[in-house]
Amino acid sequence: MFTLNRKQQVALDHYLVHEAGITIDLLMEAAAHAILRYLIDEVDESKELIFFTGPGNNGGDAYAAARLASGFFKHVTICESRSAREAVGVDSPAMRMRKICKCMNLSFERAERFKPEAQMVLIDGLLGSGFEPERGLSDEWKQVFETLNRGRNMGCQIISIDIPSGVDATTGAVCELAVEADVTLSFVYPKTGVFSYPGRNYAGRIITANLGLPRAVLQRFMQSYDEYFLRVTDEDFIRSLKWARARDGHKGLYGNGFLIAGSVEMPGAALMAAEAALRSGIGRLRAMADEGLAMQYMAKLPELMLRSYDEVGSELCDDVISDLKLSEGCLIGPGLGSNDSLWPLIEAAMIHCRSLILDADALNLISMDMERFRKLSAMRAKTQHMPVVLTPHPGEFARLAPDLSEKTRLEQAESFVRKYPSILVLKGAATVIAFPASGGELRMYLNESGNSGLSKGGSGDVLAGLMLGLLAQRPSDWRAVVAAVYLHGRAADLLMPSLGSRSLLPQDLIACFPELFRRLEDREFIEKEESCND
C-alpha cells in the first residue's frame, strides 16, 4: 500500500485536475459519498452527526458529506470554524459546497460556541494535509480542537476526514491539542503521517477509499513523479508471497542458514535467533559457537548443526569460508559481545554470502569504521549478491550515523542507504525498511504491525533469526526482509488478547510462529482480534 506525504498529495491533486481532467468539485463529491457509505454502514441513523468544517478542501469534503447525510440521518449539523465563515464569498470548491448546504437549509452553528453531548458523532473536516505543526495553532483552532477532544472524552465518536486535524501529513508530528480520532477516512492513498509516530496514535482505525479513480490514471501519476513513494506493509503484501510448501519438498529446497551469534555471557540471543530461524521453515541451520555455548545449543536445539571454536580469530579456516559460500542466508552479531577480531569474518561474509544480516554487536563493530564498511558495501554492490541487511535499533543507528540524529526516521533511513548501499531495517515503533532498488530507485516500507510488547530485550534477536530463516528460503529476495518485520510484529499483535503487551516475552513470539505459518500456508490470514492461544 502506497502513502502520500504533503508534497505528493499536492502533486496528485494537480495531476488529477490538469492531466486527468477531474475537477476538485468532483473529487469532493466522491469523497462525500465515501464518507456517507461509512456512516450508513457503521453509525446508527438515530445518532446526531456534527460536521466540523474548515475553509480548505477537507472542509469542502465535510460540507458535501453533511449534505448527503441529511438524506439518511435525522440530526445533521454543520459546525463552521471562524476561518470557514470568513472565506464566504471566495470562489473555492469548499465555499461552493457550503453554498449548496445553505440553499438546502441545513442546520449551521458556530464551532467556537458548540457544546458536545455524549454519544454524538463528530466529523473532523477542519485542517487537512497542508497543515504544518511548526506554524502553531491560533486561539481559534485551539478552541475548536479542545471541543472535539472534550467530546471524545465524553463518549463521542471522532471521525477525521483524510487526516486528523493537527497531524503533519509527512512526518506524523503533531501540534498541541491535535484531534484524536477513532477513525480516519483517507482517500485514494492514506497520508504518510498517519502511519508515523506520534501521528499513528491520533489516527485510530485507518480506512482508505479509492473514490472510483481509474487504476491506469493513478499508475501514470506514479510513473510521472520523480521521487519515491513510501509503502506500508499490509496483509495484501504478505498474501501476495507464496507460502505453501510442496508436498514432496525436502530440506535442500528450503535453504541453508549460517548463524554466528552468542557467547557464554549472552547465550540467550543466539538461542532465540536460532529457534526463530528453525521455526520459519529453514531446511538446514548451522551455528558457529564457542565450546561453552555449543552445549546449550545441543541441549535446547538438537536440530542445529554446530561448528564450535575456542575464539573467533583473525585467521578464518577453510571450513568457515566454505560454510559462508554454501549459505543462502547468514546472520552475524546477536550476543557476540565486543570483539574487534570479528572484522575478518564480516569481510569474508560480505564477499561470499548471498544474503547477509548484520545485527547487534556486528553493528556496533562496523560503527567504529564506517568508511571500511562503505568500501565493503561498494565492493558487494558489484556482485550478484543482495545488499547487506542492517537491523539497528535507534541507539545502534545513532552510532552508525551520528550526523543524521536531527532528521526524522524516514529522512534518516533515506540518507543512510544513499550513502551506504544496504537494506536498512531501522527498528522502532513503525519500523522503517529502506534500500536501493534497480535503476537507482529508492524503496521504503513502513511497518504497520506490532505493539509495545516488543519493547523487551531479545525481541530483536527473534526478528533477526526469523529474517535469517526467510532469507535462506528466499535468497536475495528483499521481500523476505519486509515479510520478516511484518510477521514478527503480527505475532505480537496475535498474542495481545492472551498475554497483553506488558507480559509478552520474545520466546512467546517464537511459540506463535507455527500457527502463524500454518495459516499462511493454508492461504488464510489471522484476523486481528484472534489469538494464537484460541
SS3 letters across 24-83: HHHHHHHHHHHHHHHHHHHCCCCCEEEEEECCCHHHHHHHHHHHHHCCCCCEEEEEECHH
Q: Is 290 exposed, middle or buried (0-12, 13-18, 19+ CB in 10 A)?
A: middle
pLDDT tens by residue, 81-90: 999 999 998 8
What pLDDT is recorded for position 438?
73
pLDDT tens by residue, 102-126: 999 999 999 999 999 999 999 999 9
Q: What is the mean pLDDT of residues 405-418?
A: 94
Within 10 angstroms of residue 392's Cβ, the number of other Cβ atoms is: 24
Higher pLDDT, 157 or 519: 157
pLDDT tens by residue, 178-195: 999 999 999 999 999 999
- pLDDT reading at 529 higher than 50: no
Rounded to whole angstroms, the Cα distance separating 151 from 462 reads 42
Contact 129, 144 (CB under 8 A): no
pLDDT tens by residue, 2-20: 999 999 999 999 999 999 9
Q: What is the mean pLDDT of residues 24-38?
A: 97
Higher pLDDT, 244 or 416: 416
- pLDDT reading at 322 higher than 90: no
- pLDDT reading at 314 higher than 50: no
Rounded to whole angstroms, the Cα distance separating 464 from 454 reads 13
Kindly indicate the confidence band of residue 534, based on its pLDDT and cuts at 50, 70 and 90. Answer: low
What pLDDT is recorded for position 405?
92
Rounded to whole angstroms, the Cα distance separating 54 from 119 reads 23
What is the enclosing helix (H) or strand (E) of 278?
A: helix 267-279
What pLDDT is recorded for position 415?
95
Kindly indicate the confidence band of residue 532, based on its pLDDT and cuts at 50, 70 and 90. Answer: low
Kindly indicate the confidence band of residue 293, based on its pLDDT and cuts at 50, 70 and 90. Answer: confident
Rounded to whole angstroms, the Cα distance separating 368 from 396 reads 11
Higher pLDDT, 308 or 409: 409
What residues contact residue 355 under an 8 Å CB cut-off, 6+ apart?
Answer: 328, 329, 330, 385, 386, 389, 471, 472, 475, 476, 480
Q: What is the mean pLDDT of residues 270-287?
A: 96
- pLDDT reading at 528 higher than 50: no
The Cα angle at residue 204 between residues 199 and 208, in degrees rounded to 5? 95
Q: What is the DSSP secondary structure assignment for residue 255, as one 8-state letter?
A: -
Rounded to whole angstroms, the Cα distance separating 412 from 399 reads 13
What pLDDT is recorded for position 527?
44
pTM given for the model: 0.91
What pLDDT is recorded for position 315?
54
What residues contact residue 139 under an 8 Å CB cut-off, 6+ apart?
Answer: none
- pLDDT reading at 475 higher than 60: yes
Kindly indicate the confidence band of residue 533, based on its pLDDT and cuts at 50, 70 and 90. Answer: low
What pLDDT is recorded for position 80?
96
What pLDDT is recorded for position 525?
47
pLDDT tens by residue, 212-249: 999 999 999 999 987 889 999 988 888 788 778 888 88
- pLDDT reading at 338 higher than 60: yes
What pLDDT is recorded for position 521?
80
Rounded to whole angstroms, the Cα distance separating 289 from 261 reads 7
C-alpha cell at 393: 535499533
What pLDDT is recorded for position 446?
96
Using DSSP, state whether 319 is helix, strand or coil: helix
Rounded to whole angstroms, the Cα distance separating 436 from 444 reads 9
Q: What is the mean pLDDT of residues 334-355?
A: 89
Higher pLDDT, 142 or 227: 142
**80 pairs with which residues across the strands?**
53, 110
Mean pLDDT of the chain: 92
Higher pLDDT, 244 or 378: 378
